[in-house]
Amino acid sequence: MKLGEITDIKIGLVLSRKKASIKYEVESRYKLITLKNIEENGAFNEEQFETFESNDELDNGYFTEEGDILIRLSHPHTSVYIDKSKSGLLVPSYFAIIKLTTQKFIPEYITWYLNTDKVKKELMKSQTGTAISTTNKSILASLDIDEVPIEKQKKIWEIRELHLREIQLLYKLIEEKEKYYKTITDKLLKMD
């Protein structure tokens, strides 16, 4: 089965076409999702969303909705699942918005699948462009995806979520160990 058979894929907004160039042109302000908001593993980080000042009211189709999947169109082609807390964000043209059109898959599973090494290698093979290599809507639509039972899809997503939490905890542990190390060495230096 092809990804394009089970989803609608749309490219985000070309920001330069709607960016207000001077203050009095600002019609609306929107929270904008950028590359720096997403980790390479497909998780959102704590980075604040930028504000985009538009010279026009923007179409709803350029904003995230719960259940959407975003995929970065350039390397490393990271995809991220949009939950309720991340809906309403403006999507720029360096992401594609993927919406499921079937009940046979869950968006979390598709997100996981798009982040697999197998898919990323496939996307690398079919990149276009010379200065900045990117992928496009038709390449995404042509990706093969095996139909897996919904229960198995949910289990895969649960394991992924546990894995990401474990990584976050390990990073926090490393951070705390660094503070501990610094404190001890500072105290030892002051003993002389």
The CATH number linked to 95 is 3.90.220.20
In this structure, the answer to whether residues 112 and 18 fall within a common structural domain is yes
Q: What is the pLDDT of residue 45?
A: 86
Identify whether residues 132 and 155 lie together within a single domain: no
What range does the domain containing 179 cover? 149-192
Kindly report which listed range (15-24, 34-43, 48-57, 66-75) carries the lowest average pLDDT score. 15-24
Mean pLDDT of all residues belonging to the chain:
89
Same domain (yes/no): 17, 100:
yes
Q: Where are the alpha helices (DSSP H) in 89-130?
A: 107-114, 117-125
Among residues 73, 38, 41, the alpha carbon closest in space to that of 162 is found at 41
| pLDDT one-digit tens code per residue, 99-151 | 999 999 999 999 999 999 899 888 888 766 556 667 888 889 989 998 899 99
Give yes or no: residues 35 and 127 share one domain.
yes
Alpha helices by DSSP H, listed for 73-149, are: 107-114, 117-125, 137-141
pTM above 0.85, yes or no: no
Q: Are residues 64 and 100 in the same domain?
A: yes
Are both 186 and 163 inside the same structural domain? yes
For the sheet with 69-72, list strands across it.
Answer: 7-11, 95-100, 69-72, 79-81
- What is the DSSP secondary structure assignment for residue 132, as one 8-state letter? S
Confidence of residue 43 (pLDDT cuts 50, 70, 90): confident
Nearest of 85, 89, 87 to residue 52 by alpha carbon: 89
128, 160: one domain: no
Domain check: are 90 and 163 in the same one? no
In total, the chain counts a number of residues equal to 192
